[in-house]
């Protein structure tokens, strides 16, 4: 007769708290994964930027030549379209 019955409200509250803890844990794991991915992307972008700057510095003449030719071609096209 001295059996103790659990209150259904306490049971659901405990279950909700467990679910909440599970969701918080999953959220923290997701945040850690996103931080690692961000660091990886930042590192890749930094390397690509550095390589692009090296390429442009070592091939400066080609860049100037291509810009000049592109400007002449664009000027020619604009001139033809406006007449």
Q: What is the pLDDT of residue 21?
A: 94
Does the pTM surpass 0.85? The reply is: no
Q: Encode pLDDT of 21-32 as tens digits.
A: 999 999 999 999
Q: Tokens in use for 29?
A: 């794991």
By the 8 A CB rule, do 63 and 56 touch? yes
3-state DSSP of 37-58: HHHHHHHHHHHHHHHHHHHHHH
- Four-residue CA torsion sign, 7, 12, 15, 16: negative
Contacts of 17 (CB under 8 A, 6+ apart): none
């Amino acid at each position: 007769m001295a059996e103790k019955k659990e209150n259904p409200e306490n049971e659901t509250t405990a279950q909700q708290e467990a679910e909440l803890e599970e969701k918080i844990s999953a959220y923290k794991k997701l945040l850690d994964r996103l931080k690692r991915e961000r660091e990886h992307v930042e590192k890749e972008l930094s390397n690509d930027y550095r390589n692009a700057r090296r390429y442009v510095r070592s091939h400066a003449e080609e860049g100037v030549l291509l810009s000049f030719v592109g400007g002449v071609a664009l000027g020619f096209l604009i001139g033809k379209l406006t007449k």
